[in-house]
Structure 1
Amino acid sequence: MIDPLAEVVALLQPSAPMAKTVSAAGAWRVQRSETGQPFYNVVLQGSCFLAANGMQPVRLEEGDFVLIPAAYDFTVSSRNMDGAGHYDPLHVTMVEGGVRLGEPDAEPDVRMLVGHFTFGSPDAALLVSLLPELIHVGGERRLSTIVQLVAEETRARRPAREVILARLLEVLLIEALRSSAGTGASPGLLRGLADGRLAAAIRLMHEEPTRAWTVVELAKEASLSRSAFFERFSRAMGVAPMEYLLSWRMALAKNLLRRRQAGIAEIAERVGYSSASTFSVAFTRFVGLSPTHYARTEARGS
């Protein structure tokens, strides 16, 4: 059986090349403006608050993992920002083993591991759009075990520390993705897969992208009426069924074009189009480049 989440993760090609240990004491706040990079925060000790991309702040506790697949602005702060005292809550001090926020000389009450994932796929923006806007996981036994390993590795100075940390963070990302699936997740693939009826339709779209699916057929596979399926799918996934199917087909097509292992006609057939010309029109409308031009551009950039 095809696993849609595994397919998306495989195409994303995630890696964690950079991790920074941050400790904090007293009242503190750090604000960042980003360009859509995937930002993560692992709370190793204590608790703090995170507000990202205009969403309501969430409280992060020890053992929690949070990922913003596309971060544009976020604030991480102490539990109480009232009465900042004589020190600047925005002050950052370099200390042994990382960065200190807030009061520089006090015993830290919060320790975090923060950094950015990188997604190797040139088509990451499309794939990230299939994920929730914010992924926050806590209280999961398996995740807590990985977080504990991450915490131990950050404290140790053993050989190959950075390599081990990068691999642990990649596992942490995948575990967080599947742990955060649920009706409480923000719209995206994880929330859709948490709905048993929608999951059946999503898996079929991934298993048979060449099939000329209609909303009626997908609704039947989900054992729902057409209108109920359309509304339920759109609410859970954040996009309409046919829009999701088109996005997935285009992600597959881009991957095939980059690998240059098939001609346009064969790629068209493998992603569900009856002819190369029909595929070329759809691809050009979706991407803004013809398949041939896209393949050449990617070849020059590699």
Structure 2
Amino acid sequence: MIDPLAEVVTLLQPHAPFSKVVSGAGPWRVRRSEAGQPFYCVILGGSCHLLVDGHALIELQEGDFVLIPSAHGFTLSSLDPATSEDLDTVPVALLHGAFRLGVQSGPPDVLLLVGHFVFGSPDAALLVSLLPQLIHVRGEKRLATIVQLVSEESRALRPGRDVILARLLEVLLIETLRSTVETVASPGLLRGLADERLAVAIRRMHENMAQPWTVAQLAKEAALSRSAFFERFMRAVGVAPMEYLLRWRMALAKNLLRRKEAGVAEVAERVGYGSASAFSVAFTRHVGLPPTRYVREQMALQDQ
């Protein structure tokens, strides 16, 4: 059985090369708009506020993990509000790559590990669009264990610290996506997989991408009427069923072409097109250039 979530993670190629420990005391506020950079935050100790544009204010507590996969403005701040609406705090660099916010002396009120994931896939924007805008996890036992390891490693100055920390954060990302399938509120693939009936149809698409699926056939797999399935899929996943299928077909086709695993005709068959010409038309419309030219450009990039 093909796991849709595993396919997302595999195609995203996540890495976590950038992280820093940040402490805060007294009133402080940091405003960011991380265009194209998936932001994460681990609360190593204490608590603070997080406000993501379009979402309610969250009080983050020790052991929490937050992931903002796509470009959204957000504000991290102390529980005590900063004195001015226009005041943003400039982090002060400390020893060993750490930073301090607010009052510079005395014990911190909060200790954070913050950073960005890097998604190696050229289709990252497409794949990230299938994830929720905000993921906040608290109280998950397995996740808490990983957070504890991250906390211990981030505080230590042992050899190989950065390498170990990067790998732990990658595992943390995957475990976060897996553990939030049942609880995520915003539309996306995770919410679709949380719906027992929609999950059947989504898995069928991933298991047999070559099948010439229709909405009616997918609705039958989900044991729903065509209209009920379409509306339920739109609400949960955020895109129409055939648009979701098209995105996956194109993402898989680009991956196969980049890796030179098959020619255009075989790729067309493997992703559900009856002919190479029909696939080429769909690929050109979606990607902006024909498959053969896409392959040449990818080969040129690899040779640079």
Q: Percent identity?
A: 68
Against the structure 1 CA distance between its residues 29 and 278, is the aligned structure 2 distance closer, same or farther, given a 3 Å change threshold? same
Q: What is the CA–CA distance in structure 1 between the aligned matches of 2:40 and 2:183, rounded to whole Å?
A: 22
2:20 corresponds to which letter in structure 1? K
- Give the C-alpha shift of residue 260 in structure 1: 1.4
Q: What is the CA–CA distance in structure 1 between the aligned matches of 2:207 and 2:4, rounded to whole Å?
A: 9
- Give the C-alpha shift of residue 278 in structure 1: 0.1
- Give the C-alpha shift of residue 91 in structure 1: 3.4
Matched, 1:299 2:299: yes
Superposition pairs of residues 133-282 of structure 1, within 5 angstroms: 133-182=133-182, 184-282=184-282
Q: What is the CA–CA distance in structure 2 between the aligned matches of 1:52 and 1:164, rounded to whole Å?
A: 29
Matched, 1:7 2:11: no
Against the structure 1 CA distance between its residues 8 and 72, is the aligned structure 2 distance closer, same or farther, given a 3 Å change threshold? same
- Give the C-alpha shift of residue 157 in structure 1: 1.4
Against the structure 1 CA distance between its residues 160 and 212, is the aligned structure 2 distance closer, same or farther, given a 3 Å change threshold? same
- The aligned residue for residue 93 of structure 1 is 92
- Give the C-alpha shift of residue 56 in structure 1: 2.9
1:93 corresponds to which letter in structure 2? V
Against the structure 1 CA distance between its residues 115 and 82, is the aligned structure 2 distance closer, same or farther, given a 3 Å change threshold? closer
The 8 Å contact of residues 284 and 290 in structure 2, kept in 1 or not, is answered as: yes
Over aligned residue pairs, what C-alpha RMSD do you find?
A: 1.4
> 1:262 is paired with a residue of what secondary structure?
coil
- Give the C-alpha shift of residue 82 in structure 1: 5.3
1:94 corresponds to which letter in structure 2? A
- Give the C-alpha shift of residue 53 in structure 1: 4.0
What TM-score results when the alignment is normalised by the length of structure 2?
Answer: 0.95
Q: What is the CA–CA distance in structure 2 between the aligned matches of 1:236 and 1:175, rounded to whole Å?
A: 21
- The aligned residue for residue 67 of structure 2 is 67
Q: What is the CA–CA distance in structure 2 between the aligned matches of 1:91 and 1:12, rounded to whole Å?
A: 32
How many pairs does the alignment contain?
A: 299
The 8 Å contact of residues 52 and 71 in structure 1, kept in 2 or not, is answered as: no
Moved more, 74-83 or 188-197: 74-83
Moved more, 120-129 or 67-76: 67-76
- Unaligned 5+ segments in structure 1 are none
- The aligned residue for residue 78 of structure 1 is 78
- Unaligned 5+ segments in structure 2 are none
Matched, 1:130 2:130: yes
Moved more, 33-42 or 116-125: 33-42
The 8 Å contact of residues 183 and 195 in structure 1, kept in 2 or not, is answered as: no
Against the structure 1 CA distance between its residues 198 and 183, is the aligned structure 2 distance closer, same or farther, given a 3 Å change threshold? farther
What TM-score results when the alignment is normalised by the length of structure 1?
Answer: 0.96
